[in-house]
Amino acid sequence: MRALTYHGSHDVRVDTVPDPEIVNPRDAIIEVTSTAICGSDLHLYDGVIPGVMSGDILGHEFMGRVVETGSGSTLKKGQRVVVPFTISCGQCFHCKMQQFSACDNSNPAEKQDLTEPLYGHPLSGLFGYSHLTGGYPGGQAEYVRVPFSDVGPIVIPEGMDDDEVLFLSDILPTGWMAAENADITEGDTVAVWGCGPVGLFAVQSARIMGAHQVIAIDHHPHRLELARLMGAKVIDYTQTHVLEALMEMTGGIGPDAVIDAVGMESHGFAPDNVFDTIKQKVGIGADAPHALRMAIMAVRKGGRISMPGVYGGFADKFPLGALMEKGLQLRTGQTHVQRYTKDLLRRIQEGEIDTTFLISHRLPLEEAPRGYANFKNNQNEWTKVVLKPGTAAV
């Protein structure tokens, strides 16, 4: 089969690789019909996530048609399914508490020693996201083996297009959980750093959850316009002093809740960010958390911080004093996708949530390297790239 593989920083290629096979009884094989490039894929593309090996198949946002099942799978051949990026057994302590992204059994035992010394516990399994999370082949391919297929995939009703439901795999539940972690109540002001896909879905989710005012912060004009169309007020951080603007927009109090949808590769020329980026490039620092620092400083006393943005290691100059002295709450984590998919599918069917506005480009899988390069370098115009296996290159 054909699949998008990693060969080094900014070097991804579509190669011919072996087809996946059923390994365990609960496995299923999916023929991929749509797969997307995620903002967190760019962390792999930029070489800042360790444990990615040459030849690894990337991608964790995908859906398709069931073509083969193991004896323990509950799926049926021919069903269309969206597959969560989190691989979860459904039976461990964490899965029973619906903390699916903390599954104890999905990261193979031989891989768990890679992350336990760094994080205190081994990570769970994720598709296409380094050997730290199991080394599972990802979904930017013609076919994928899906472990624990009786737990993760959600069956899609006939008549719904891939574009309507593809983002149930990751970024829609991630934006929803980001807003949920902000503990939004009626009348709140919520500030969102980053108008990428997760940030935009966080804006949409915050509005649905009752926020009175949502303020989106970015510097890409088109992305800010998308946030504005969803009812957000916007701040271009290259034109405005963000903290001063937020204080003015909240009567001198600060936002009730803030969401960091940027993560470990913040942009801009603030001094702290310049130093973080240099350290990241030379390999002595993993994270550049400028957006998180700003969010902590901006939120009102007693406020809430939600951090869906991906971080991988350690951060310097973290405002721990502000976190404590202001009495702030911080909630974060990989998304418990399976907890949210049924409810979000219903909201899509009823027209409450739209996901298709985000898609700017659709490309054949064979053009995935071009998609990565543009999603990285032309973020204003390339808001979301959907790849279509089995279609001819143009």
Q: How far is it, in rounded angstroms, from Cα 117 to Cα 313?
A: 12
What is the predicted pLDDT for the residue at 251?
97
Residues 190, 278: one domain? Answer: yes
pLDDT band at 220 (very low <50, low <70, confident <90, very high): very high
Tokens of 107: 């990261």
Contact 233, 189 (CB under 8 A): no
Number of domains in the chain: 2
- Secondary structure element (H or E) that encloses residue 62, with its range: strand 61-69
Regarding whether 222 and 137 lie in a shared domain, the answer is: no
The per-residue pLDDT for range 142-171, each reduced to its tens digit, is: 999 999 999 989 999 999 999 999 999 999
Say whether both 132 and 14 belong to one domain: yes
The CB-based long-range contact list for 313-319 (8 Å cut-off, 24+ gap) reads 313/118, 313/285, 313/286, 313/287, 314/285, 314/286, 314/287, 315/276, 315/287, 315/289, 316/275, 316/276, 316/279, 316/285, 317/272, 317/293, 318/289, 318/292, 318/293, 319/293
Cα(279)–Cα(287) distance, integer angstroms: 9
Residues 150 and 258 both lie in one domain: no
Q: Are residues 18 and 163 in the same domain?
A: yes
Asked if residue 393 is part of any domain, the answer here is: no
CATH label of the domain that carries residue 316: 3.40.50.720
Query: Which tokens go with 92?
Result: 């461990």
**C-alpha closest to that of 16 among 37, 6, 1:** 1
Q: Is a pLDDT exceeding 70 seen at residue 285?
A: no
Mean predicted confidence (pLDDT) in 274-302:
71
pLDDT in tens, 306-332: 999 988 777 778 899 999 999 999 999
Q: Please indicate, yes or no, whether residues 130 and 236 belong to a single structural domain of this protein.
A: no
Say how far residue 191 (Cα) sits from the centre of its chain.
Answer: 18
Query: Domain range for residue 296?
Result: 172-332
Q: Considering 332, 361, 377, which residue would you say is the last residue of a domain?
A: 332
- Which 8-state DSSP code applies to residue 19? P
Q: What is the pTM of this model?
A: 0.92
On whether both 128 and 186 belong to a single domain, the answer is no
User: Do residues 144 and 291 share a domain?
Assistant: no
In a domain, 227, yes or no: yes
pLDDT given at position 2: 98
180 plus 314 within the same structural domain = yes
Question: Is the same domain home to 105 and 238?
Answer: no
What CATH number should be reported for the domain holding residue 34?
A: 3.90.180.10
At residue 48, the pLDDT reads 85
Query: Smallest Cα–Cα separation from 39: which of 170, 150, 131, 187?
Result: 170
Considering the domain architecture, whether residues 341 and 291 belong to the same structural domain is answered as no
List Cα–Cα distances, 250 to 76, 84, 190, 328, in angstroms: 52, 37, 10, 17
Average pLDDT over residues 94-100: 97
What are the pLDDT digits (tens) for 64-89?
A: 999 999 999 999 999 999 999 999 99
